[in-house]
Structure 1
């Protein structure tokens, strides 16, 4: 399930929004209306984003579901990430969204505000959908304002992916509790000793900046908008720009030239922050040995981390709420489905599936171990619910930080532009 065909800007943009490995194959299955046939068979529509590999796994899972529930048929539809949300927005505006669909935290408030999402608590209370046996804390990702708007299928958390060979050559050995000062010092050491830049561009990753802010008593988002000030971002981006100029961060031009590879797997950096389950892409793309390292801290303990998740949501307009709930329940709890899906959408969210699937590859084992170690460290907090417009804000953060790093816009102007675009997104 490599992500070698995903260009880096997309994977970072989508990392927050999708929380899972993606491909850019724009393949569409059959759409069509859901309904009930004369013999009582119900048809529901299920849409998701991802590549062909994910589609194969999901279709295998659906075959198992239809075998168990012969009176429920599932029509499928999938695209790449950008095409999925374009189509979904059109369907939602026309009052015809799919009955059940893949979702992410950045879209919950946006579509709840428009009355598109079903509060699944009614189906949980009716016994058609269970919230039992989920790994600690993960169901909170789909909870907004007391409503259960999404059911997680897989979880992930931010991590630092490192080129083990380059770090060993530089004598850098990250340990839990290391500080940002130690991290930035390590980047300089790596560059001085190996001539390889330390990091691919940490300052443009919204979800990493969120962790830094959380370590300092703030957050990227609060309920209604941004949870930080212009002075905060000015400091973050000024430091980032200076490190690019000093050569300890990969040149943005090199990052562009390396696409669709990451500059880490291209050998032009020693580290990159991303979601832990994306680690598979580096092994698929690169020739070195890659591993996961701890998130730097401010106080030597608190990383600000939380479990994020891809999830399944249901349409508030579905004519078949019970069948949709049974489908979601099967997809998140059935052990065979867990074995089929593996870590395609993150580390499996329920203990039923997590225990059923044992990764055999080194990368998969390391991802599972990283999440277990992070949970055991007691540092995981709850994700901050994202306001409506968060998806647009995240894309703006990545784009504007890129312009700033390339010197196309001054830091002060970049900060003003970001706050201005964010304000507009929240009001849309």
Structure 2
């Protein structure tokens, strides 16, 4: 999921894990809402069923998914899949229109920020019913990632991949500055590292950590809270004022990059542009830096408050089904195939994160350093025992995430005082929850 917006938690990384822990990587019913199943998957006179399947992502993902569709149709010749795809923003704009008109796809890619929003509107199928009917297996999901698709006792999405937050660093800059990130390092040690990098290498240490909603979530989790409760924000206006105030001070001191310069190089990352030496993001986004930059990049551990707990959890892209589909059985069979079939795993690789089920994870053997590195990082995090459960996001979380990034950037640029910005954010969050 923003330079670091959710976007469903996607991507890859590169490298090998050394012994110090541094990973090198070069609501209501449809009737009440006026929704119907019109225009959804249909059936033919010969018994053939047609399902619409929609996702967001780039061309490589589309090419791979179309290959998996052909595999499915070969195994299930009476089920035909109609693909629909777009980039992230266009996908959700179109989906909102489709959902409001009662015509969403039968099966679609989804993310945690949208589960409660569309469940509240009666759009999402509780897939437990299809699991009970034997059309979908909820077994063999790795490291508890299945919980990413759960909310309010329902299974609203089935994960296809998993990822977690990490710190991507410029290995060359960190080495020259004499900074060696280790598992369990503290935030104070991180700030000191940024200062050392700034003073010795003459560049900022961080691209702008305090605008990343998911990092703030980890920070709160380190203090026994979370960004969200079931129905509200899990922190106070004063908490956010302090977070943004500290971030702005670090911008002014030079250890966090000038946000105007970061904007100027967008959509390229400030890290790969050489404006800073580190950036917090989802581990499987890290492939972008290798493609954009000229340095060597790596994944470093998340700083901690107590030297142990990072607040990390596994996020996921997932597949959901429309509650009003005319063909719930076939939709469930399609999802089951896409998350469990070994050949699908081989085709998709880690495009949507580390493969979520043991069948697919075991079937895909990465050969490139990028995929090997991400797998090693997540395995190391899992072994460390720091992973917690993801907190389901309330309805309106997608709007709130966008507001956090937008208002945070205004703070970074000095356009809004932290206290006023926090007040504005809480106001917008209240409106989003009520929508």
* Superposition TM-score, scaled by structure 1 size: 0.94
Stretches (4+) displaced over 2 A: none
SS of structure 2 residue aligned to 1:43: strand
Matches for 1:285-364 after TM superposition, within 5 Å = 285-364=292-371
Contact in 2 for aligned 1:157/1:371 (Cα 8 Å):
yes
Separation (CA, whole Å) in 2 of partners of 1:342 and 1:414: 41
One of 267, 277, 280 as aligned partner of 2:274: 267
Separation (CA, whole Å) in 1 of partners of 2:416 and 2:310: 31
Per-residue deviation, 1:376:
0.4
> Which residue matches 2:242?
235
Separation (CA, whole Å) in 2 of partners of 1:174 and 1:321: 49
Separation (CA, whole Å) in 1 of partners of 2:205 and 2:2: 21
Larger CA deviation: 99-108 vs 89-98: 89-98
One of 199, 202, 206 as aligned partner of 1:192: 199
Separation (CA, whole Å) in 2 of partners of 1:228 and 1:11: 23
SS of structure 1 residue aligned to 2:54: strand
Per-residue deviation, 1:411:
1.1
Asked if 1:371 corresponds to 2:378, the answer is: yes
Per-residue deviation, 1:17:
4.1
Contact in 2 for aligned 1:156/1:309 (Cα 8 Å):
yes
Separation (CA, whole Å) in 2 of partners of 1:162 and 1:79: 30
Separation (CA, whole Å) in 1 of partners of 2:322 and 2:140: 24
Per-residue deviation, 1:43:
0.4
One of 154, 157, 161 as aligned partner of 1:154: 161
SS of structure 2 residue aligned to 1:36: coil
Contact in 2 for aligned 1:160/1:273 (Cα 8 Å):
yes
Separation (CA, whole Å) in 2 of partners of 1:289 and 1:318: 48
Separation (CA, whole Å) in 1 of partners of 2:300 and 2:326: 47
Separation (CA, whole Å) in 2 of partners of 1:33 and 1:366: 41
Separation (CA, whole Å) in 1 of partners of 2:238 and 2:197: 30
> Which residue matches 1:204?
211
One of 87, 97, 100 as aligned partner of 2:104: 97
Separation (CA, whole Å) in 1 of partners of 2:100 and 2:268: 36
- Equivalent pairs counted in the alignment come to 410
Per-residue deviation, 1:12:
1.7
SS of structure 1 residue aligned to 2:378: helix
> Which residue matches 1:51?
58
Asked if 1:403 corresponds to 2:395, the answer is: no
Separation (CA, whole Å) in 1 of partners of 2:362 and 2:129: 28
CA offset digits 1:146-187 (Å, max 9, x no partner): 110000000000000011000000010111110111111111
> Which residue matches 2:33?
none
> Which residue matches 2:135?
128
Separation (CA, whole Å) in 2 of partners of 1:117 and 1:106: 13
> Which residue matches 1:4?
none
Structure 1 gaps of 5+ residues are: 1-8, 23-31
Per-residue deviation, 1:33:
4.4
Structure of higher RCO (CA pairs closer than 8 Å, 6+ residues apart): 2
CA offset digits 1:261-315 (Å, max 9, x no partner): 1010011111000000011100011111111000000011000000000000000
Per-residue deviation, 1:138:
0.2
Asked if 1:12 corresponds to 2:4, the answer is: yes
CA offset digits 1:34-69 (Å, max 9, x no partner): 211111010000011111111100000000000000
CA offset digits 1:56-92 (Å, max 9, x no partner): 0000000000000000000010111111111111111
SS of structure 1 residue aligned to 2:279: strand
Per-residue deviation, 1:21:
3.9
Per-residue deviation, 1:11:
3.7
Contact in 2 for aligned 1:45/1:74 (Cα 8 Å):
yes
Asked if 1:419 corresponds to 2:426, the answer is: yes
Per-residue deviation, 1:327:
0.4
* Superposition TM-score, scaled by structure 2 size: 0.93
Separation (CA, whole Å) in 2 of partners of 1:219 and 1:136: 20
Contact in 2 for aligned 1:103/1:312 (Cα 8 Å):
yes
